[in-house]
């Protein structure tokens, strides 16, 4: 079938919306009609050439939601008509990682996905007979996608798909960092560095876990106001003296939990330093640039601080994304506040421009306004 999609032809150049050929789903795969897709910083990161694992040409986009139209042979988990959220982090349920509660990093299709292919080592996208590689196993800057069914989370049909799509990456990453990776304890003090999509999700996650004090740090007053709306009890302007201010607020000890959601290695170092002596846990969710490293004073670790990373918030996608969407439907997570701009596929590059200007939190592309 012919579809329209936004193709990254070369790093640093605008995406080109054009017609591509999309094959039918093969065994264990599904054809999904996209309804909405968020424009995520990871898409911009790859398009800029900063991602060391990036490649072109490819169809970007990974924060999608839509409706299953057809399934391939042997599909067990989804069927036509299901409303789904796309998962760049799949869940086969059978590999050693999926069977362990300690990680969400499914091994089943990881090697092929990282190379831009579906599990059988081929693509479903092509142009004039030449294969076009998939991005993060998803490629949701397109009207339709073919994906492995283990990379689709079936969600409640009453969930608006232009809201549910945010759970495909940024929002779940932040929520999960607090709820699953760090497993914030009730009554604790938390500090979140960064009030973008991931950071705001972390603020909400800390609230849902029963944190007593939630401090959010950012350079933007507008974003700090959004953080207060998600449950932050205190807000601070970022900068060189912010760690000292956090120590003052916590009796000189630091926070029980800190979260880094900027991708800036200098801010990562601040998040480590702001963690409490004795048991403070710093969770790094931001993605740093190519070749960047994080310097940590060893004494901070010897005196009890711990540092961990969090990919997709530790969320096991097929099981836990539907649960998070249900909590949104129950009124526990304010998703509407995150959506700043509504775009068409032809406006995808404007979504990148808005992101670089820090204009709002999330732009959402709509493919079918009637759904």
Name the residue ranges covered by the structural domains of the chain: 2-168+334-366, 171-312
pLDDT band at 370 (very low <50, low <70, confident <90, very high): very low
d(Cα 257, Cα 126) in Å, to the nearest integer? 46
Q: The domain at 171-312 falls in which architecture?
A: 3-Layer(aba) Sandwich (3.40)
Q: Cis bond leading into 282, ω under 30°?
A: no
Closest CA to 171 of 312, 60, 292, 303: 312
Q: Which residues contact 218 (CB under 8 A, 6 or more apart)?
A: 193, 194, 195, 199, 224, 227, 235, 237, 238
- The arithmetic mean of pLDDT across residues 33-47, rounded, is 95
Q: Which residues contact 244 (CB under 8 A, 6 or more apart)?
A: none
CATH 3.90.180.10 fits domain 2-168+334-366: yes
pLDDT digits (tens, 9 = 90+) for 43-84: 999 999 888 889 999 999 999 999 999 999 999 999 999 999
Which residue in 26, 70, 110, 341 is the catalytic one? Answer: 110
Which residue in 58, 62, 189, 283 is the catalytic one? Answer: 62
- The arithmetic mean of pLDDT across residues 193-211, rounded, is 98
Which residue in 29, 134, 140, 169 is the catalytic one? Answer: 169
Known catalytic membership, residue 362:
yes
Which residue in 29, 37, 42, 140 is the catalytic one? Answer: 42
Please state the φ and ψ torsions of residue 121, each to the nearest 5 degrees.
85, 15
Residue 65's pLDDT is 98
Q: Is 171-312 in the same CATH topology as 2-168+334-366?
A: no
Helix and strand counts by DSSP (H, E) for the chain: 11, 18
């Amino acid at each position: 079938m012919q579809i329209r999609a936004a193709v990254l032809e070369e790093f640093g150049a605008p995406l080109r919306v054009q017609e591509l050929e999309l094959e039918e789903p093969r065994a264990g795969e599904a054809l999904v009609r996209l309804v909405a897709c968020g424009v995520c910083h990871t898409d911009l990161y790859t398009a800029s050439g900063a991602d060391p694992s990036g490649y072109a040409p490819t169809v970007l986009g990974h924060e999608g939601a839509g409706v299953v139209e057809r399934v391939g042979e042997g599909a067990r988990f989804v069927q036509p008509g299901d409303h789904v959220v796309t998962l760049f982090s799949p869940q086969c349920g059978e590999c050693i990682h999926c069977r362990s509660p300690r990680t969400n990093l499914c091994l089943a299709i990881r090697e092929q996905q990282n190379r831009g292919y579906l599990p059988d080592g081929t693509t479903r996208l092509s142009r004039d007979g030449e294969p076009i590689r998939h991005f993060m196993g998803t490629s949701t800057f397109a009207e339709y996608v073919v994906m492995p069914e283990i990379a689709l989370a079936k969600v409640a049909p009453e969930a608006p798909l232009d809201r549910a799509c945010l759970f495909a990456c940024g929002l779940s990453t932040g929520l999960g960092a607090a709820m699953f990776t760090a497993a914030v304890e009730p009554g604790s003090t938390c500090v979140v560095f960064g009030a973008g999509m991931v950071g705001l999700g972390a603020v909400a996650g800390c609230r849902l876990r029963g944190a007593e004090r939630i401090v959010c740090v950012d350079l933007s007053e507008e974003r700090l106001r959004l953080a207060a709306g998600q449950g932050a009890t205190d807000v601070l302007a970022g900068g060189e003296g912010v760690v000292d201010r956090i120590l003052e607020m916590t009796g000189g000890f630091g926070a029980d939990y800190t979260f880094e959601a900027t991708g800036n290695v200098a801010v990562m170092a601040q998040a480590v330093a702001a963690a409490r002596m004795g048991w403070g846990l710093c969770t790094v969710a931001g993605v740093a640039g190519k070749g960047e490293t994080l310097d940590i004073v060893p004494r901070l670790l010897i005196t009890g601080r711990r540092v961990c990373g969090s990919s997709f918030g530790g969320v096991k996608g097929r099981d836990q994304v539907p649960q998070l969407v249900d909590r949104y439907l129950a009124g526990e997570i304010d998703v509407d506040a995150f959506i700043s701009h509504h775009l068409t596929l032809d406006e995808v590059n404007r979504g990148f421009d808005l992101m670089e200007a820090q204009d709002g939190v999330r732009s959402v592309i709509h493919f079918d306004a009637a759904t």
